[in-house]
Structure 1
Amino acid sequence: MTITNASDEAARWYARRHAAAPTAAEQAAFEAWRGDSAANAKAWAATEATHDALGGLAALPEMTALRSAARRPAPPPRFAPWRIAASVAALVAGAAGTYSLMSHRAPTTTASAVAAVAHYRTAIGEQRIVALADGTRMTLNTDSQIDVPAWQSERRIRLLRGEGYFEVAKDKNHPFVVETGAGDVVAVGTAFAVRKAGRGFSVALAEGKVRVTIPAVAEPTLLTPGERLAYDGVAVKRETSGAGEATTWLAGNLTFRDTALGDAIAEMNRYSPRKIVLDDPAAAHRKLTGVFRTGDVATFVAALTAYGMARIEREDAAEIRLKGA
């Protein structure tokens, strides 16, 4: 099933505007589309943020080898330039994994139904969009699990595993709370991602404001757009510009900047049933910078080989074992 939404339209507008300078009429049409709804404005901002993150990395020396490894044959010349750009933008706009769309019905508040809980899960490589009863849009990332109990004074959900991105419908009388087990993220109307990892979790804020409450930390933390907070069960780390790179998975990409190779491999493995195993503790500490498609372990390994970071020791359908080059 094909789903047309504001993100798809934003990708098309991005492709058209970057294929050639827009005419006055095209600029007016774009401004009219962007101003037509909050969803359109939000989708455009997210598309620009993703491409800015990718563009900033493209100029780095490490990306030369990555582009060679990932190069694909050029499209036939019969396609107009903007159509070629639109095809590329569509790839960026859609994740490599499987997408599905679900809706969440409004929970009842009768005594017999208060304990009812809706369960949502994704398999490895799958992403799922869930429309909640209040109008909130919830995107589950790969290998994730979220429970939505019946709501009363709060719109509370439980992130049990993995990661979710939440575009929260405004309702000042009913805060939206993401419960992670290690702390809560509270919002009224905003867009943010929450990931559960080990004993802790992380939050990346795209829009609005959220309050992060961690029982082990005395004071709540208020985040503003673009910020990312990570809690590992011991300490809190706050970044003022980490949200963009932390949410490129929404566009089907993983962005690494000076990331330990072992951590990058672990992240790639989240999206693919075919696992990468690095049999070299020393090589695991090497730093990697690059942008890769989620689930595309073959290109990822080819890039590591091309750049001299690792070599294939052996491989089969289930895994690829690497050694330091």
Structure 2
Amino acid sequence: MKVLITGVTGLIGSHLAKYFIDNTDYQVFGLKRWRSDEKNIISFKHKIKLFEFDITDYVSLLKIIKEVKPDLIYHLAAQSYPKESTEAPFLTFDVNINGTVNLLEAVKELQIEPKIHIACSSASYGIVEEINNPIKEETKLLPLTPYGISKVAQEQLGYLYYKNYGIQTYMTRFFNQVGPGQNERSSIQTFCKQVAMIEKGDLPPIIKVGNLNPKRDFTDIRDTVKALDLLLLKGRPGEVYNIGSGKAISIRRVLDIILQKADCKVEVKIDASRLRINDEPILQGNINKFQADTGWKPVYKIEETIDTILNYWRKNI
């Protein structure tokens, strides 16, 4: 079995590649941008076939897929930060939407039949009243950012190519996926990194934060990769699934847990540069549909996830 992962150096891509190496006999192929940091895959890079590519370059992508002829494709390459998408909407649309078209067109042109996962996002929902949380897949999509809009478009493209051309696509609306090796722009990562730097004496005892009021559904990356394995084994093509913990916790509570684990006393200060134009008050996924189809169940608690992330930063600064 050949599995191809776009965005293999990112949080989900790198952990997914390691999961397949450790638990299957799959041949693992990874696609990365030439300038992407390889720190997340360095320990097992020798066990995967790695290609440098640009998802917006159709010709190079076609060549790679023709060479590999994958049985499974996990499409994770993206501009994946909502705040950045408001500053760079053209780039976000080009990478996320046109990149997905390129992948699906290449599969169609080559007339191969892989199962394709397309990584979408809970950002597609936008503001959903707390009474309507946990959010079901049939909830109306009203995204608040170019990123969220691009993820809705990716879903629709997946469905279009499934219905019109019979390509087996599986779309997931990821809620907040977290784990070691993630970019520090996410809340848990930046809080843990700042604490680690304060403990080391590299920063004054002040943690800079954005809006602490939103509630988010955090999924440990170890649960995520198991979900993605089951998705293409047991999921239904053409469907959209929520992937989350099924629980919501406020960013303020996340910070409290981190500070309880810190070996220092700190002051918390609002940093205006960390605030978004709009923040969905709560995003909590209803994961019943995915659980019913695959039997998946998240097992890691937020405290365990924070432990792994905090220890990662303590070792890597």
Which interval holds the TM-score relative to the shorter structure? under 0.3
Counting helix residues as a fraction of each chain, which structure ranks higher?
2
Q: TM-score w.r.t. structure 2 length?
A: 0.24
Larger Rg belongs to? 1
